[in-house]
Amino acid sequence: MGNMHKGTVFVAFVILLGACGEEQGADTQSGAAKTLDDFELIPRDLFFGNPTRIQGRISPDGTMMSFLAPLDGVQNVWVAPLGDFAAARAVTDDTARGINSHSWALNGENLLYRRDQGGNEDFHIYSVDLETGETIDLTPFENTRGEFIQGSYRHPDEFLLGMNDRDPKWHDVWRVNVKTGERTLVELHDRFGFFIADLDLNVRLAGEPTADGGQLIYKRDAGGEWVEFFTIAKEDALTSAPLGFTQDGTQFYMIDSSGRDKAALVLVDYETDDRTIVAEHAEADVSDVIFDPVTNEAVAYSANFMREEWYPISEDARDDIAALASGLAGDFTILGHTRDDRQWIVASDAPTAPLTYYNFDRDSGTINKLFEARPRLAGQPLNEMHPLVIKSRDNLNLVVYLTLPPHADADGNGRPDEPMPMVLDVHGGPWARDSYGYSSWAQWLSNRGFVVMNVNYRGSTGFGKSFLNAGDKQWAAAMHDDLIDAVDWAIAEGIAQPQKIAIAGGSYGGYATLVGLTYTPERFACGADIVGPSNLVTLLNSIPEYWASFLETFALRVGDPRTEEGQRFLRSRSPLFLADKILKPLLIGQGANDPRVKQAEADQIVSAMQANDLPVTYVLYPDEGHGFARPENRESFYAIMEAFLAACLGGRSQPIGTALAGSSTQVPVGAEFIPGLVEALAEHEPVVKN
């Protein structure tokens, strides 16, 4: 899996809240018009409980499959013979928050996974021996965050890992044996944000952040010393990055937006810096690239404007991409491959179908279904996502997605038959994006009777560097204007009821929610903020130490908290200082261990609202970080949020009932504002698992 790459580089305050659904077209039969009550109320746990299986990975030799699945209700790593899931066995036994990331070691004998404590993001990297069951902590230091750097089939028992045990700001490079845990120091430093090695695991490229928010790229000279190679300008810093070396080590691939707007895949000569364009797209950045696992030759790439599309690079991939495009419903993603690159694991992602994993045999051209992530969603009344482009007030193209309630669009034109209550769901990051495909929020909220709008506001990734850079220092300004422009468009088009629009989101989306209720207090009926910052000064002064290499990026693109002028600017863009302007109900969800957006960000705006005698409901999870990993906590918060939205916008809801069971839910403030919450809390005994 080390040969798969997400091309656009970004630092994201992003929460992954998605899962997957099943196709169910609009009912166009003759007879009485359908109402919302004619469609089943889908239970919340189908959206927010643990998936049955997720994150399918194929072994290097193609005989085995690994995946994440619940063990006694907690997500763990499992293995099975490829396609024989009846023979699956768990190889980890986590009993707390579960495991959410894993991969195969390239020797095919070990599985690797990451785990932190209570959401603190001090991830340790573990190796499990599939024959003996022995588990080794490969990063066995306190207060250390381990990071994967690179692996290679030339050295299948080894991996380059980053560890910040010596200095929390910087990750030194270690060469680690995944079978024994033996490690050798490769690079000790205090300046580099990333490293790229060749296929012999020799570290040969490194990136140092510059004072203006760019990157200075270094290479090794003949004597092994670091020398300056080239500079990635600040305007290209989030859309350009080296990826990996070719087989002979004389060239390396790079995602590059220098001298162009849309980032291309280029091949760079290690000696001369001569660059050859390998792949490009007219409307979007090159986003994903798949490489041959042994030669590291680029095989295929994808780009995503309104929908993700894959394109062949090597001639022998041409028929493969065509077969997948014609044989799978919805968009697809190539997730991994065997060592010989003859078998691929592919996931099909359609808005109305559960995320489904397939094994694609490149020799025969057959596509074999492996499993659905959430099979209980099959046959449920899920709703199509409609991509479209609208204009901002200054004429930027904003890619927007609309998901409509099941009864709302009798003629199937992608517009509701009459204006409806709407939830504006703002993505996190902000250096991320919304995409076409299954969204747990979009399906859940549309099933409850709301139009759901997702807007790729300026600063979102994938649409070229001009669009991304248009978001620089535009928090609570032009980035918010884009959201308001989208809301105004939805009202003018007869999609949304003007007085029944909620704003909600996580991380930056939570911040946008607070901005919506403070800077434009009349525009929204209510807001739900999950782990969103309220004060940009305190946010940037408390970023994790291991984000030191990104400090200049924040200064360039958000504001600089190190100067008085910068602090004044950041305060002018901070909802905390306009808390007295809030007119509408607010729900806040926060993890107590969040290292990115610390609990103080929620505490201080809740205190400000209390001081102004404004209604706010504050839900706190003592065993969560930046987002809610435990399914019990997810289900409890969304039960509360569902009741909150039903009271604010109308629509329908599943009662809170026993949805708090097994969760660590605490509600320090405002339980009385949520229908059914006081009663649910009276029966609730918090369960904390780290």
Point out the residues that are catalytic.
Answer: 507, 594, 626
Tell me which residue has tokens 């929020």. Answer: 441
Amino acid at 82: L
Q: Are 58 and 65 in contact (CB under 8 A)?
A: yes
d(CA 481, CA 475): 10
Query: Taking the mean position of all CA atoms in its chain, how far away is CA 288?
Result: 14
Q: Is 248 exposed, middle or buried (0-12, 13-18, 19+ CB in 10 A)?
A: exposed
Contacts of 299 (CB under 8 A, 6+ apart): 290, 291, 292, 312, 313, 314, 317, 341
Task: Tell which residue, 253, 257, 285, has the closest CA to residue 266.
Answer: 253
Q: Residues with Cβ < 8 Å from 381, sequence gap 6 or more?
A: 24, 39, 40, 42, 406, 447
Measure the CA–CA gap between 206 and 209, rounded to whole angstroms: 10
The DSSP letter of residue 489 is H
User: What is the CA 217 to chain-centroid distance, rounded?
Assistant: 27
C-alpha span between 518 and 514 (Å, rounded): 6
In DSSP notation, 535-581 reads -HHHHHHT--GGGGGGHHHHHHHT--TTSHHHHHHHHHT-GGGGGGG
Whether residue 430 is preceded by a cis peptide bond, meaning omega within 30 degrees of 0, is yes
Q: Which of 260, 338, 326 is nearest to 299 (CA)?
A: 338
In the structure encoding, which two tokens stand for residue 209, read together? 């952040």
Length of the chain: 690
Gap between the Cα atoms of 265 and 240, Å rounded:
9
Q: Tell me if 604 sits within 8 A of 539, measured CB to CB.
A: no
What are residue 385's DSSP bridge partners?
Answer: 403
Distance from C-alpha of 9 to C-alpha of 215, rounded to nearest angstrom: 12
Q: How far apart are CA 523 and CA 532, in angstroms?
A: 19
Phi, psi of 520 (to 5 degrees): -130, 65
Q: Which residues pair with 175 in a beta bridge?
A: 160, 184
Dihedral Cα 104, 105, 111, 116, nearest 10 deg: -100
- For residue 542, give both structure tokens: 């408390």
Separation of first and last alpha carbons in the chain: 28
Element (H, E) at 479: helix 478-492
15, 506 Cβ separation under 8 angstroms: yes
Q: Is 147 exposed, middle or buried (0-12, 13-18, 19+ CB in 10 A)?
A: middle
Dist. CA 46–CA 524, nearest whole Å: 29
Handedness of CA 281, 284, 285, 288 (dihedral sign): negative
Which 3-state string (H, E, C) describes 255-315?
EECCCCCCCEEEEEECCCCCEEEEECCCCCCEEEEEECCCCCCEEEEEEECCCEEEEECCH
